[in-house]
Structure formats: structure tokens, C-alpha cells
Chains A and B, each alone.
Chain A
Amino acid sequence: MIKLQHVNKYFYKNEAREIHALCDINLTIEDGEFTLFSGASGCGKTTLLNVIGALDTIDSGKIFFDEKEISLLSEDARTTLRLNEIGFVFQAYNLIPVLSVEENIGFVMKLRGFSDKEIKKRVLEISAMLEIDDKLKSLPNALSGGQQQRVAVARAVAAKPKIILADEPTANLDSKNSQKLMNMMRELNEKEGVSILFASHDELILNSVRRVVKLNDGVIVDD
């Protein structure tokens, strides 16, 4: 469970151009949720995703990841939390260019110390589910945008994190691939029990999720 209490986040604090990106956010995300943070560009949905994912810091308030308060953790401890508990799907895929698809998918598992046998088994399982099992030896730059995004999803889910944070995962995909990706994400959520949080303004995602948290100028306006 993730709990946010009176979370505030500013950009360019104490400067003339100060932005109050998150205003007194109070939010609880239960295990197994399939939730969307929606709103117009600049409303704070990506920032919210980043602070939940321990990628960004907050200026005030508290964020609990299970019982652990993220805001009190050191940089190294936050890195370890991300490694062990969170999977990320970035809008720009962010695959490691020198590693093959197989190695990219198994990368987080490798960092977590899974055995080669376990990694291989899991990579085959996930890649088959995401229909990229025929591309395992390819390098990322040999794949289409849709395929790269599926590799990014596979990487996020492979190590069985508690939660996956997906920022605009369909932004670079056509409608057919977007639909395919969302079907897979839902399947992962249902089959693997992984919580998935999206930040997006894509209608397709809006229609696929079970919960929508709407933001406007850093404030939750609807839940």
C-alpha cells in the first residue's frame, strides 16, 4: 500500500517562476490497483508518479511505501527501494542500447541477484506474453517503437515488483499497438497481481483502468 499525506512539491522554489506542482496531495493506493493519474499537460500527474516512485523528492508531507516513509530515505536506500519494489515504464522506453532485448528484460532481475536460470525462464515467459519472444537477441535500435515499449514493460514486470509506474506508455504508439499494450498491462495486473499506476491523458487508458485520479494544477480534483 502507498499512502501520500499532505504532499507538496515545488519547482524553482523561492524563484519568481516558482511552480507549486503538487498541492497538499492526500492519496492511498491499495495493492493490486490499476489506476490512472489523468489531467491536462502540466497538471502534475508525472510529478506525482515520480515522487511515488522515489525518483523525485518532495518539499513537505509524507509518502509511505508500505510502512516505509520514502521521504526519510537516503539516496542509496531510495535506489534500493526502486530496485526491489518498483518497475518503471518510461514514455521514451529508455532501454539500454548495448544490451539485447533478452538482456534488457533480465537487467533488473540481474541487479536483484536472480540466478541465470531464473532470469532465462522469466524472460521467456514474459516475452511470450508480450509477443516479443522472437526478438530476444535483437538490439533495441532494431525494434519498432511498439516493440521497444513492450520490452520496457517486460523489463518493468520481469522482476515481479510490487508496483509498476507507467508514464505515458502509449504516447509513442499507434492506436493498435496502444490497445495491445493496454491489454497486456491489464493481463499482467490480473495474472501477476501487480499494481499499475499510469500517468496519461490517453482516452484508451482512461477507458481501461479501474480507478482514475484527476489532477488540475497540482490538486486532486476527482478520484
Chain B
Amino acid sequence: MFSVIFKLAWKNSFLRASRTLLVIVMIAVSMSMMLGISGIYDGMIENMADKNQRSDSGDISIYAKEYRSQKDIKYRINRAKEIREEIKNIDGVESTVLRVKAEGLLSTAEKSSFASIIGIDLKDEQIFGKFSEFLKDGEIDFKNRGALIGIESAKKLKVRIGSKVVFSTQDVNKEINSIALRIRGIIQTTNINLDKGAIFVNIQDASKFLSLFEGEAMQIAVMTEDNAVFEKIKNRYPYLDVKSFLELNPMIKQMQDMTLIFNSITFFIVMGVVFVGIFGVMYVSILDRIREFGIVLALGMNYKYIRAQIILESLVVGFLGYLLGAVFGAVILIYLRDYGVDFSSFSDALEMWGYEAIIYATIKVSYFTATFIAIITASLLSVLIPLKKIKKLHPIDVIKADV
């Protein structure tokens, strides 16, 4: 029985081949566009989150209590080096870094600006977040008081590679100290705070400049894929301010939520189009073949088999549309993941908001599974009204209409 139903469904699906193919192509194009848009939306946020994690907070950041609100170096982690070693041994921790930070004034001969000096260990930062990838110009070199400056600060202070700058701040003894630095490189992290107001120096130089004791730091950042690590650290160091990435970056969390809403709206619009497309084809196809359904009912085919045939026809159209859409979508997503979309003409505005000028797409399996479920559901829903029409059909009406 199933073979005859399947044969009828398959052959009838392509009875009006151009009409069916048009709907299949419409589903495929809508779906692939939707996948592309979803990939870009998610890619924008994930890229921003990734850069923020790599350049600053990691998955977890640890500070002394009050440091984040006061930004005063008196709120520092005293045993930072030891604590870092302990954290390194927690299962699931991938990498860690120590950072020394202080707020102050960055000056050139002509201009000055508020900035943060950040002492980092280049080797650790490379493992932690591939720091060298942030280099926009010059070289990464801290020798002879070399420093790296954020791209927006460099623009603001009109600093070039080789320029001399002076950073002034209070040390831990409340003494005003200054340090002359030579700009060796300009970095761009797309982390607004760093690009607009950070100057990176060697961690030892920074510690010395701020008169910190051995092993003291302002931040320990941790990279981990294991969600349990956060709770472990929090429980182990209740006297420290342990924050997750999203707690430190609520804006990114909001943007993720907004992206989810945008993607959902796009998803429902596209699925609406798919539904209307399949519904239109199925409705017209059934109206075209109402006589045929009357005849098979007259010959003894039970309504449930006719229903199965119509559902199968709809699924054939939906599934072929999905398959083609999945292939198109995958090609688009792979292209967008590898080559991105170049928004260079809007780079200033985008970078100001922490986006990169070239946005690369993300590919998630959930794009394909959610679309599959939605298209199959749309296919099933689209035949409800046509099936109602068939249910009301009496074979005698068709037979009489023939005579």
C-alpha cells in the first residue's frame, strides 16, 4: 500500500514540474538567505565576544573586591601569582594570565588623554588569546620600555610607531610616578575600552613602576570551556571578586539576546513564506486533482491513504526545498565564515561599537536542525485546509460531474 501511495505522491509532486520546482527554489533561496543572515548576526556577536575574551576578560576574571568599581590600585590581589598557579591546576582550566593595571594620564608633547597602563606577559597572552593577532601596525616588542597602544588612543594622541609617550599615575605608595615609553606597535582588539585607552607594557616594568610587591596583580583571567570551573573558583576564593564573561560584559549578553530576537523574527518571516508557498502549491494541486481524488475514493481507496498521499506530497516539496536550501545555505555560510562580509566603508562606526570591519559568519548545526523542523512543520500545517476539502469530498459528486 505504501509503495502505491509514495508513487502517487512522488509523481503528483512533479505533475506540474515548473510550479513545484519554483516552490522548491523559493524555499531553498529563502532558507539559504536566512542561514546566511543568522550566521552573520551570530558571527558579529561571537566575534565581538571572542575578541573581548581573548584581549581582556577570558571566560572568568578575578579581581580584588572593590577594584572594578574604584579602579584604585590599592584594591589588588596580593597573592595573585600563587592563586594563578592554584587555578591552573583546576580541571578544565585551559590557560590563565596575570595583568597589572593602573589608571592614569597618557601624554605626548602636544596632547594628553586618560588611559590605563596594562602590564602583560606576552608569552602568556599569546597562549591565552593569541595576542599577536591584535597587532595592527609595528611590532610586538617591549624591550627598552617599548609599549603597544590601542588604535583609537593612537589616533587621538596622534601617535605613530616610534613616538615617545609619558604615562603618569600614583603608585601604591601614593607617589606620583611617570614612565616614558616608546611606541613599538599599534593594536586593535575591537574591545572599545582597550582600543580607546590602553597602553600595554611588560608586566615586570609595570609592577616596578607601580611599586607592587612580587606576585601582586589586579586581574587574573581564565580561559575554560568547563562551566563548573567558575563555581569552583568562586567557592575557593570567596574573598575575591570572581566574575564570568557575561557578568563582566552585560552589553554582549544583551546583544546576544537581541540577535536571538532578530534571528527569530527572520526565522518566522522565512517560515511564513515557506508555509504560504507550500500551501499555495498544495491547495492548487489538490483543486486541480479533486476529480482524481473522487475517483480513487470511488474505487475504494480509504481517506486515510489519500491523506497520507497528500501529506507525503507536501513533505516531498518541503524536504527537497530544505535539501537544496541546506546545500545553498552551507555554501553561503562557509563562504561568509572564510571570507566574511567587508563593511570597510562603515569601519569607523562599526569599530566604535566593537565590531570588526570584516564580519565573519558563524556556522551552527542548530541552524540546520531548527530549519528542518520548521520546514517539515510548515509542510504538515500547509495541507490541513486542503485535507479538510478532501474530507468533505463525496465520490458521487465527482462521478456526476463527469457525466
**Could you tell me which A residues sit within 8 Å of B by CB distance?**
46, 50, 55-56, 75-76, 79-84, 86, 88, 90-92, 94, 96-99, 103, 107-108, 110-113, 155, 167-168
How close is A105's CB to chain B, nearest CB, in angstroms? Answer: 12
> Which residues, 333 to 367 on B, are CB-close (under 8 Å) to A?
none
How close is B44's CB to chain A, nearest CB, in angstroms? Answer: 49
Which residue in A50, A103, A110 is a CB contact (below 8 Å) of B399?
A50
How close is B1's CB to chain A, nearest CB, in angstroms? Answer: 7
Do A99 and B399 have beta carbons less than 8 Å apart?
Answer: no
Do A96 and B292 have beta carbons less than 8 Å apart?
Answer: yes
Known pairs A55-B298, A110-B3 / 12 extra A-B pairs, C-beta < 8 Å: A50-B396, A82-B300, A83-B299, A83-B301, A90-B402, A98-B8, A98-B11, A103-B4, A103-B7, A108-B299, A110-B1, A155-B299
Do A82 and B11 have beta carbons less than 8 Å apart?
Answer: no
Do A96 and B300 have beta carbons less than 8 Å apart?
Answer: no
How close is B368's CB to chain A, nearest CB, in angstroms? Answer: 32
Q: Do A98 and B399 contact each other (CB < 8 Å), given the known contacts A82-B300, A84-B300, A111-B4?
A: no
Q: Which residues of A have CB within 8 Å of B299?
A: 82-83, 88, 107-108, 111, 155
B109 in contact (CB, < 8 A): no
Which residue in B1, B302, B399 is a CB contact (below 8 Å) of A55?
B399
B325 in contact (CB, < 8 A): no
Q: Which residues of A have CB within 8 Å of B284?
A: none
Q: Which residues of A have CB within 8 Å of B396?
A: 50, 55-56
B370 in contact (CB, < 8 A): no
Which residue in B8, B295, B303 is a CB contact (below 8 Å) of A94?
B295
Q: Which residues of A have CB within 8 Å of B4?
A: 103, 107, 110-111
Q: Which residues of A have CB within 8 Å of B265?
A: none
Do B402 and A76 have beta carbons less than 8 Å apart?
Answer: no
> Which residues, 282 to 308 on B, are CB-close (under 8 Å) to A?
291-292, 295-303, 305
Q: Do A79 and B302 contact each other (CB < 8 Å), given the known contacts A50-B396, A55-B395, A99-B8?
A: yes
Do A113 and B399 have beta carbons less than 8 Å apart?
Answer: no
Q: Which residues of B have CB within 8 Å of A88?
A: 298-299
Determine chain B's interface SS by DSSP, over half rule.
Answer: helix
How close is B137's CB to chain A, nearest CB, in angstroms? Answer: 68
Do A111 and B402 have beta carbons less than 8 Å apart?
Answer: no
B228 in contact (CB, < 8 A): no
Do A111 and B300 have beta carbons less than 8 Å apart?
Answer: yes
> How far, in angstroms, from A50 to B397 measured CA to CA in the complex?
11
Q: Which residues of A have CB within 8 Å of B15?
A: 97-98
Q: Which residues of A have CB within 8 Å of B170?
A: none
Which residue in B3, B12, B298, B402 is a CB contact (below 8 Å) of A98?
B12
Do A96 and B8 have beta carbons less than 8 Å apart?
Answer: yes
The number of inter-chain residue pairs (CB within 8 angstroms) is 78
How close is B10's CB to chain A, nearest CB, in angstroms? Answer: 9
Q: Which single residue of chain B is at the shortest CB-CB distance from A50?
A: B396
Q: Which residues of B have CB within 8 Å of A155?
A: 299
Q: Could you list 24 examples of A-B contacts with CB < 8 Å?
A: A50-B396, A55-B396, A75-B303, A81-B300, A83-B299, A83-B301, A83-B302, A86-B300, A91-B402, A91-B403, A94-B291, A94-B402, A96-B8, A98-B11, A99-B8, A99-B11, A103-B7, A107-B4, A110-B1, A110-B3, A111-B305, A112-B300, A113-B1, A168-B403
Q: Which single residue of chain A is at the shortest CB-CB distance from B14?
A: A98
Question: Which are the 9 A-B pairs with shortest beta-carbon distances?
Answer: A83-B300, A98-B11, A92-B402, A82-B300, A94-B295, A56-B396, A110-B4, A55-B396, A79-B302
Q: Which residues of B have CB within 8 Å of A50?
A: 396, 399
> Which residues, 82 to 96 on B, are CB-close (under 8 Å) to A?
none
Q: Which residues of B have CB within 8 Å of A110?
A: 1, 3-4
> How far, in angstroms, from A108 to B291 measured CA to CA in the complex?
17
Q: Which residues of B have CB within 8 Å of A107?
A: 4, 296, 299
Q: Which single residue of chain A is at the shortest CB-CB distance from B398?
A: A94
Q: Which single residue of chain B is at the shortest CB-CB distance from A106?
A: B4
Do A79 and B7 have beta carbons less than 8 Å apart?
Answer: no
> How far, in angstroms, from A9 to B3 measured CA to CA in the complex?
39
How close is A176's CB to chain B, nearest CB, in angstroms? Answer: 24
Q: Which residues of B have CB within 8 Å of A55?
A: 298, 395-396, 399
> Which residues, 1 to 60 on B, are CB-close (under 8 Å) to A?
1, 3-4, 7-8, 11-12, 15
Q: Which residues of A have CB within 8 Å of B300?
A: 79-84, 86, 108, 111-112
Q: Which single residue of chain B is at the shortest CB-CB distance from A56?
A: B396
Q: Which single residue of chain A is at the shortest CB-CB distance from B12?
A: A98
> How far, in angstroms, from A168 to B400 measured CA to CA in the complex?
13
Which residue in A86, A92, A103, A111 is a CB contact (below 8 Å) of B1?
A111
Do A97 and B302 have beta carbons less than 8 Å apart?
Answer: no
